[in-house]
Amino acid sequence: MGGCATFCTLMSAIGVPLLLFFGYLLSNNSPMIEIPEPMKPEAGQGCYMAAALYAITFVVAYSSMTSSAKEASAREAKLQ
């Protein structure tokens, strides 16, 4: 579970700023993204929604990653 949570955390941490940047470009009708002009505002909203979902995924995956680390340390045997 820890490897999956780490992977999801990293992908979400990369995805959120990237999608926010794409949403910004599309919302401002930037020529850097080549799609038909009338579709750009709607595509920008889609990027912002996807960034919000990735942010939620980041929070859930990060909390899962940190909670699994705490559980693993509780199972370790104490050597004296």
| Rounded mean pLDDT, 11-30 | 96
Specify the amino acid at residue 58.
F
Q: Which of 20, 27, 28, 21 minimizes the C-alpha distance to 43? A: 27
Specify the amino acid at residue 69.
A
CA atoms of 62 and 25, how far apart (whole Å):
28
34-75 residue pLDDT tens: 999 999 999 999 999 999 999 999 999 999 888 876 665 555
Residue 77, pLDDT score: 65
CA atoms of 39 and 18, how far apart (whole Å):
19
CA atoms of 21 and 32, how far apart (whole Å):
11
CA atoms of 14 and 9, how far apart (whole Å):
9
Residue 78, pLDDT score: 63
Residue 67, pLDDT score: 84
